Amino acid sequence: MDMLTQDKEAAVMACIYKAVRSLNEERGADEQIAVGPETCFFGEGSALDSLSLVSVIVDLETLVSDEFGRAISLTDDRAMGRDPVPFTDATTLKNYLLELLAE
Amino acid sequence: MYDGKIVLVTGARRGVGQLVAEHFLKHGAQVVGFSRHDDTGEPRPGYHPMAVDVGNADSVARGFERVRKQFGRVDIAINNAAVLTSQYSMIMPAAAAQGMLDTNVLGTFLVSREAAKLMRRGKWGRIVNISSMAASLQPMGDSVYAATKAAVATLANVMAKEFAPMNVTCNTLGITAIETDMLGLLPRDKVDALIAGLPIPRYALADDVLNVVDFFVAERSSYVTAQTVFLGGVN
């Protein structure tokens, strides 16, 4: 993996972590979401309710758009129709975002 | 009254949209006016026209990106943009019906969705959808238009539930006939007949509209959401 790709991966993951931390700021001390590559956003094992997931998605779209200078959508038909859905965990989400940014 | 507020008005170049935009401007707001065509008027302090087709998701996304970069937030969104083709259903062209659905329904949805994203951070917002007496009176010739205007109230009611945790209210104002360009698209005798049948049988005045808009967006109206207010006694 070249340095450029590594940097891009790290930048995308940083956006994901920032979105989760931002959500944590709105949650109580006993409701904090663990921040890491395995953070689960959707389905079994996710600690996020639907509104929290929406918050993360909205923040993440903005953060990635600012970071990479182009608009991306995480909620189009393609994203929701994938198996597994891109929100399974932070790593899956990062890979999906990299895919979108590569287009 | 609205000092420091960022207000977005769709369909702001003329008619009710222009009226509402002027009102917020006059009372100190920064007003972003979305309209399909470039505003060729004289620049005015506090007024920020943007060419946005609300029925086009990409156009709306670009418009909101500009708003986000320029202001960082939206406090009040007035979904006023609408198109009207009045025609008996059996001879209504599909393209005209689609145009009304795109601007009136999809446009209201897209703008509300994007506005809510910007209102979320500040945990405050007001969304007002402009509907019409047609939604209730259901006049012949307005099958699609009336349906779209009923739809914007339903949109507001559902979004009111979704956005309530963010302290964002969503309400609908059903206006009666008012002297605008859109009125010229309808046979005046038929509109007169509809108005004559209202409990208060007169055309709406600017202040009738602004009074309810002011009420919906007021700080004190934080407990008023998912409501539709019709002017003139329409219900």
Q: Nearest by CB to B117, from A51, A58, A71: name it.
A: A58
Contact A62 B61 (CB under 8 A): no
Residue A30 domain-assigned?
A: no
The pLDDT score that the predictor gives to residue B204 is 95
Residue B234 C-alpha from the chain's centroid: 18
Residue B139, SS3 per DSSP = coil
- Check CB contact under 8 Å for B117 and A55: no
From the candidates B59, B120, B168, which should be mutated to test the interface with A, based on the most A CB atoms within 10 A? B120
Q: What is the DSSP letter of B43?
A: P
- Residue B118, in any domain of the structure: yes
CATH number of the domain encompassing residue B67 = 3.40.50.720
Q: Is the peptide bond before A86 cis (omega within 30 degrees of 0)?
A: no
Residue contact A55–B120, C-beta within 8 A: yes
Per-residue confidence (pLDDT) for residue A2, from 0 to 100: 61
Cα B200 to Cα B204: distance, rounded to the nearest angstrom: 10
Listed by number, the residues of chain A in 68-97 with a beta carbon closer than 8 Å to a beta carbon of chain B are 71
In a domain, B1, yes or no: no
Cβ of residue B161 closer than 8 Å to a chain A Cβ: no
Asked if the ipTM is above 0.95, the reply is no
CB atoms within 10 A of CB B199: 8
Element (H, E) at B148: helix B143-163
Q: Does residue B65 belong to any structural domain of this protein?
A: yes
CB contact under 8 A, B120 and A58: yes
Which residue has tokens 């309400």? B171
pLDDT the model gives residue A3? 56
- Residue B177 in any domain: the answer is yes
Q: Given a cut of 70, is residue A56 above it in pLDDT?
A: yes
pLDDT exceeds 70 at position A1: no
Q: Residue A65's domain is classified under what CATH number?
A: 1.10.1200
Q: Which domain holds residue B89?
A: 6-230
The reply to whether B68 touches chain A by the CB within 8 Å rule is yes
- Whether residue A4 lies within 8 A of chain B, CB to CB, comes out as no
Instruction: Tell me, yes or no, whether A91 lies in a domain.
Output: yes
B65, B117, B120 member nearest A71 (Cβ)? B65
Total domains in chain B come to 1
Rounded Cα distance between B79 and B170, Å, is 11
* Chain B residue whose CA is closest to A54: B117
Residue A55 Cα to chain centre, angstroms:
11
Strand-pairing partners, residue B77, are B8, B127
- For residue A94 the two structure tokens come to 């990062």
CB contact under 8 A, A62 and B117: yes
Nearest to A20 by CA among A52, A45, A42: A52
Residue A19: pLDDT band (50, 70, 90) is very high
What residues of chain B lie within 8 A of the CB of A55, using their CB? 120
Percent above pLDDT 70 for chain A = 97
Q: Note whether B61 contacts A71, CB cutoff 8 Å.
A: yes
Range of the domain at A69: 3-25+36-102
DSSP state of B232: T
Residue A46 lies in a domain: yes
Provide, as residue numbers in chain A, all residues whose Cβ is less than 8 Å from the Cβ of B117.
58, 62
Q: How many domains does chain A have?
A: 1
Per-residue HEC secondary structure of A15-79 comes to HHHHHHHHHHHCCCHHHCCCCCCCCECCCCCCCCCHHHHHHHHHHHHHHHHHHHCCCCCCCCHHH
B192 touches A at CB < 8 Å: no
Q: What is the mean pLDDT of residues A81-101?
A: 87
Query: If you average pLDDT over every residue of chain A, what do you get?
Result: 87
Residue B235 maps to a domain:
no
Minimum CA–CA partner of A50 in chain B: B162
pLDDT at A5: 76
Class of residue B74 by CB neighbours under 10 A (exposed 0-12, middle 13-18, buried 19+): buried
pLDDT tens-digit profile, chain B (235 residues) = 999 999 999 999 999 999 999 999 999 999 999 999 887 778 889 999 999 999 999 999 999 999 999 999 999 999 999 999 999 999 999 999 999 999 999 999 999 999 999 999 899 999 999 999 999 999 999 999 999 999 999 999 999 999 999 999 999 999 999 988 777 777 888 889 999 999 999 999 999 999 999 999 999 999 999 999 999 999 9
User: Is residue A72 within 8 Å of A86, Cβ to Cβ?
Assistant: no
The confidence score (pLDDT) of residue B38 equals 80
Q: What is the mean pLDDT of residues A70-91?
A: 82
| pLDDT score, position A84 | 76
Binary contact (A51, B165; C-beta < 8 A): yes
Question: Per the CB < 8 Å rule, is B65 touching A58?
Answer: no
Q: Would residue A31 count as lying in a domain?
A: no
B36 touches chain A (CB under 8 A): no
How close, in Å, is residue B68 to chain A by CA atoms?
10
Can you give the pTM of this predicted structure? Answer: 0.89
Identify whether the C-beta of residue B73 lies closer than 8 Å to the C-beta of residue B119. Answer: yes
The answer to whether B73 contacts chain A (CB < 8 Å) is no
Instruction: Tell me, rounded to whole angstroms, the distance of Cα B116 from its chain centroid.
Output: 15
Identify which of B22, B7, B17, B23 has the alpha carbon closest to the alpha carbon of residue B37.
B17
